[in-house]
């Protein structure tokens, strides 16, 4: 099945927001169906998924085993979360530019050092992370 012919699934979507504080009364109706791929994927032809290994991004809610949605059509900006290739290895980090415009890859866990990019040619940005899928029940 090619990318254009892949099926799209819609799931019932409840209008009411769920309270993360005190419980609120539930609404008895649904707004409409919500397509997960339309919600999470803006540029289908340039989007890919990758599973996280490691814990360098836990302070922003990206955990071992999460699935990241990456859009390759987006230009990476300062403070974006990116998938980067550095010395032929892939990593997920926050892209930071200093005052002179030099890039750095910042871990979001104090146990890890930032990766200083001495030669811009050593860094390849594969894409910008747009979402993370975090499962609470592992199958």
Catalytic residue set: 56, 93
**CB-CB contact of 79 with 90 (8 Å):** no
Torsion sign, CA atoms 85, 89, 95, 98? negative
What's the gap between Cα 9 and its chain centre?
21
**CB-CB contact of 101 with 80 (8 Å):** no
């Amino acid at each position: 099945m090619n990318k254009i012919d892949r099926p799209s699934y819609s799931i019932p979507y409840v209008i009411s927001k769920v309270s993360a504080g005190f419980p609120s009364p539930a609404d008895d109706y649904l707004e409409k169906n919500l397509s997960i791929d339309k919600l999470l994927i803006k540029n289908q032809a340039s989007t890919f998924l990758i599973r996280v290994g490691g814990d360098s991004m836990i302070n922003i809610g990206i955990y071992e085993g999460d699935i990241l949605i990456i859009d390759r059509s987006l230009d990476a900006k300062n403070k974006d979360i990116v998938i980067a290739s550095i010395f032929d290895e892939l990593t997920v980090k926050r892209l930071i530019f200093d005052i002179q415009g030099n890039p750095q890859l910042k871990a979001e866990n104090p146990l890890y050092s930032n990766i200083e990019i001495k030669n811009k040619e050593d860094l390849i940005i594969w894409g910008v992370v747009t979402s993370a899928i975090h499962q609470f029940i592992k199958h």
